[in-house]
Amino acid sequence: MTRRILLVNGPNLNLLGSREPEVYGTATLQDVEKLTADAASAEGFELRAVQSNHEGVLIDAIHAAREDCAAIVINPGGLTHTSVSLRDALTGIALPFAEVHISDVYAREEFRHHSYLHDVAAVRVIGEGVGGYASAVRQLAALIP
């Protein structure tokens, strides 16, 4: 089995570091990618990262992961609450995945409480800040033989 994890960050996460720092903190997307790559390396995995504001790009990256990845860490951003297609892509490739949210979505607006991924994710990490990405990697690594 390939020792690679795909990191997927959805819409608006390219604005990390400047977007609502009181909610998301000051770490940039590059900081998140490095932190996640370091956590993956510590568990014996390499990391491939993708971020897009376009749902189809994310779905294509997820489909491609079935060729050379053992797991996926995904922060779908706003697509969490709207995208059946993203859910179908993740369940269609049958890789374990972790759903990550930097903020505590359950302490925010009610529309953020619903996730199309909650019942199919192997791991969920919510409200741990950007450190949640590393936590997700460690939890997924424990599931992979």
128: number of Cβ within 10 Å: 16
Any catalytic annotation for residue 116? no
CB atoms within 10 A of CB 50: 18
Of 24, 54, 114, 116, which residue is the catalytic one?
24
Helices (H), the chain: 21-24, 29-42, 55-68, 84-93, 131-143
Q: Annotation-wise, does 18 bind a ligand?
A: no
Is 81 annotated to bind a ligand? Reply is: yes
Q: Flag whether 104 is marked binding.
A: no
> Is 135 annotated as a binding-site member?
no
Identified catalytic residue from 63, 101, 116, 133: 101
Element (DSSP H or E) covering residue 72: strand 71-75
Give the span between the Cα atoms of 122 and 69, in whole angstroms.
15
Q: Is 103 annotated as a binding residue?
A: yes
Angle between helices 29-42 and 131-143 (to 10 degrees): 30
Binding-site residues for substrate sit at: 75, 81, 88, 102-103, 112
Q: Which residues have a catalytic role annotated?
A: 24, 101
